[in-house]
C-alpha cells in the first residue's frame, strides 16, 4: 500500500495543488492529511473544499478546533512573540473569512484516523496520540517516543505536528512526521509531503517540490492578509529517501 501523507495545509491553496499534482503523477493507494487545514493562508475555504472533493481523510489540528469552536484567540505557535503576533493576525482574518460550511467540516474532523494495512495498524494524528499539542521531535529521547506510542494501538503512526520531516522506529512502532504543506519551516518556496510504502515493511520517502509561493503571497495581499508567512518561490525539486526499517 502506497500512502501519501499531507502536513498542515493552513489555507495555502497554491502549495496544496502542487502537492496533489505531484502525487497524482506518481500514483498512490491512500491519501491522508494531518489536520490544520485552515488558518494563516488566504484560501481556507478553497483548501477545505478541495480536500473534501478528493476524499482526503485526516484528523483535526488545533487551528481546526479553534476555528470550529469560534475561539477568540489563535492557537499557540512556536517561534516567539513575533510569530504569535503574525498568527493572531491571520487567525482573526480567517475567523471572519471562513464559511459556515467550512466550520462544520472542521468540527467534524476526528482526533484519530485509523485503518489496518496487512500486519500494520495505521494511525494518523495531528501532533501525537496524546493530544493535538504534544509534539514529538526527531531528537526526542527513545523513552519519550515509547511513552507517546503507548497511547496508540497503531504500529505505524503518522503525524504532522513537528516542522520537519522525519521517520523514526521506536518501541516497534514507526513514527512518520510530515512537514507542513502550507507553511514549510525551512522556507525557500518549497512544499512537500511524505510517502510511506507499507507492505512487509515500512519504507518512507519525503518529497520536496517548488510551488508558486509568490502567487500565494499575491492572493494573501489581495485578500488583506500579511504576506510574511509565505517565502519567495524556490527552483529545485528533490527527494530525500529514508530506507525501510
CATH number at residue 48: 3.60.21.10
Residue 3 is predicted with a pLDDT of: 98
Length of the chain in terms of residues written: 245
Q: How confident is the model over 141-171, as pLDDT tens digits? A: 999 999 999 999 999 999 999 989 999 999 9
CA angle 196, 202, 205 (to 5 degrees): 40
Look up the domain containing 216 and give its range: 2-242
User: What are the φ and ψ backbone dihedral angles of 177, each rounded to 5 degrees?
Assistant: -110, 125
Distance CA 224, CA 42 (A): 8
78 versus 15: which is more confidently predicted? 15
pLDDT band (50, 70, 90) for residue 188: low
Q: How many domains does the chain have?
A: 1
Q: Give the pLDDT of residue 233.
A: 30
pLDDT at 189: 80
Chain segment 12-70, per-residue pLDDT in tens: 999 999 999 999 999 999 999 999 999 888 999 999 999 999 999 999 999 999 999 99
- The pLDDT assigned to 228 comes to 65
Amino acid at each position: 500500500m502506497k500512502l501519501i501523507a499531507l502536513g498542515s495545509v493552513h489555507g495555502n491553496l497554491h502549495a496544496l495543488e502542487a502537492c496533489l499534482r505531484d502525487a497524482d503523477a506518481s500514483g498512490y493507494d491512500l491519501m491522508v492529511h494531518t489536520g490544520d487545514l485552515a488558518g494563516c493562508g488566504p484560501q481556507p475555504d478553497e483548501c477545505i473544499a478541495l480536500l473534501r472533493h478528493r476524499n482526503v481523510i485526516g484528523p483535526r489540528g488545533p487551528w481546526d478546533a479553534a476555528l470550529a469552536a469560534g475561539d477568540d484567540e489563535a492557537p499557540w505557535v512556536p517561534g516567539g512573540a513575533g510569530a504569535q503576533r503574525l498568527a493572531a493576525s491571520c487567525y482573526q482574518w480567517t475567523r471572519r473569512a471562513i464559511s459556515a460550511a467550512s466550520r462544520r467540516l472542521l468540527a467534524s474532523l476526528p482526533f484519530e484516523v485509523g485503518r489496518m494495512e496487512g500486519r500494520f495498524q495505521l494511525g494518523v494524528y495531528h501532533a501525537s496520540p496524546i493530544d493535538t499539542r504534544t509534539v514529538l521531535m526527531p531528537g526526542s529521547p527513545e523513552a519519550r517516543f515509547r511513552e507517546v506510542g503507548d497511547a496508540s494501538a497503531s504500529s505505524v503512526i503518522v503525524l504532522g505536528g513537528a516542522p520537519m520531516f522525519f521517520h523514526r522506529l521506536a518501541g516497534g512502532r514507526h513514527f512518520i512526521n510530515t512537514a507542513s504543506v502550507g507553511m514549510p519551516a525551512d522556507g525557500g518556496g518549497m512544499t512537500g509531503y511524505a510517502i510511506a510504502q507499507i507492505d512487509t515493511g515500512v519504507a518512507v520517502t519525503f518529497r520536496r517540490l517548488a510551488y508558486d509561493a509568490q502567487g500565494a503571497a499575491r492572493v494573501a495581499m489581495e485578500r488583506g492578509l500579511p504576506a510574511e508567512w509565505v517565502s519567495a518561490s524556490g527552483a529545485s525539486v528533490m527527494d530525500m529517501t529514508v530506507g525501510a526499517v
